[in-house]
Structures are given as C-alpha cells and as structure tokens.
Amino acid sequence: MEKPSKETLERWRKDDKYWKLGSIYYNPEDQRILPPKRIAWMGWTVNFANKKSVLVFIAIMVITIVLIALVPHHQYHL
C-alpha cells in the first residue's frame, strides 16, 4: 500500500464519518499506529479499525496498570 498524500491524511482527520461519537477514530484505510487527534495539536489517538493500533493501546494500558499496582502505597495520617 502506498503512503497517503497529505491531502488524504488531512481529509481523514477532518471527515466526520471516521469519528464515532465525535471522538473515537475508526478508519480502516488509515494504517498509521497513532494518527493525530481531530484537533492535531492535542496529540495522537488510537485508530480502532487498525489491529496494530489497538494492540499498542492495550499494551500501554496493561503496562500502566502493572506499574500502578507495583508502586507501594503509603498511608499518610494528618
């Protein structure tokens, strides 16, 4: 598959049909792992139509949960 043009990438980011409930990106044509959010300066999002993207999202969530579980919890008394 050839790399999409800048115009195509911009159209995908702005087109409502690729955004479910206004904030969930779902575009089977887009093969990027972490495409930019609808408002690009706000960072990146997950393309839920891309299996690799979903796996990266799950891996990040699992690592975060494991790290939180491993950090000792301190009880502070006032």
User: How many Cα neighbours within 13 Å face the side chain of 1?
Assistant: 8
Calpha distance 58→11 (Å, rounded) = 27
**Cα torsion 46, 51, 58, 63: sign:** negative
**How do residues 33-62 score in pLDDT, each as one tens digit?**
999 999 889 999 999 999 999 999 999 999
For residue 2, the model assigns a pLDDT of 82
Report the 10 Å Cβ neighbour count for 76. Answer: 4
* Average pLDDT of the residues in 17-44: 94
Which tokens go with 76?
């502070």
Tell me the whole-structure pTM to 2 decimals.
Answer: 0.80
For the chain, the helix, strand and coil percentages under 3-state DSSP, each to the nearest 5: 45, 10, 45
